Amino acid sequence: MTCWLDFCCNQVSAAMKMLTLAILMLLHPVHVSLTGIEYDAKNSDWSLFVKVWGDDLEADMNLGMSSGAELTGSRDERFFQYLSDRIKIMEDGLPLNLQLISAEIDGLEHRFTLKARGKEDVGTVTVVNRIMTRLYEDQANMLLISLDGIEEGHRFTVTDTMKSYKLK
């Protein structure tokens, strides 16, 4: 009888822990974005994709540009202004001019594809990612990058928004 009672108590305890964890997850959502960057050194082409949650994106876009200016224009123009303000790629200290190729909304998720043309001889690449860093203290912006033989991941935070890579 004691074994059966212990078993039942353990099952109830495990269920209570899972329920508590689920409630905590609902009360404190995960604040994360994903950015992928690929560099084709042969053609000096940059390809980016960005994935964010729609409600977080809308809240951060409502804050406007880092300069305080308002986002204006069509939906895609506002998306482009936002992404250009929050994500920067610099070759040897000079920012690239990004171009929005596509903006897709799939339920709660927003996906963007951007491209840029770089210069031929690059020594250092710096990536800046400030997506939602003014909005959430626990924001994590994950980066997957592939350039000139380097493939790695990086986690940007509110206090760590820049990462540099030496190519030479």
Backbone φ, ψ for residue 134 (5° rounding)? -85, -10
User: Residue 15's pLDDT is what?
Assistant: 56
Rg of the chain taking only CA atoms, in angstroms:
21
pLDDT exceeding 70 applies to what percent of the chain? 83
Give residue-wise pLDDT tens across range 9-35.
444 455 555 554 444 444 446 789 999
Give residue-wise pLDDT tens across range 35-60.
999 999 889 999 999 999 888 899 99
pLDDT greater than 80 at residue 1: no
**Strands laid side by side in the 32-40 sheet:** 99-106, 109-117, 45-53, 32-40, 140-147, 150-156
User: In the chain, what are the domain boundaries?
Assistant: 1-29, 31-166
The whole-model pTM stands at: 0.80
| Nearest to 105, CA basis, from 53, 142, 152 | 53
User: Residue 23's pLDDT is what?
Assistant: 47
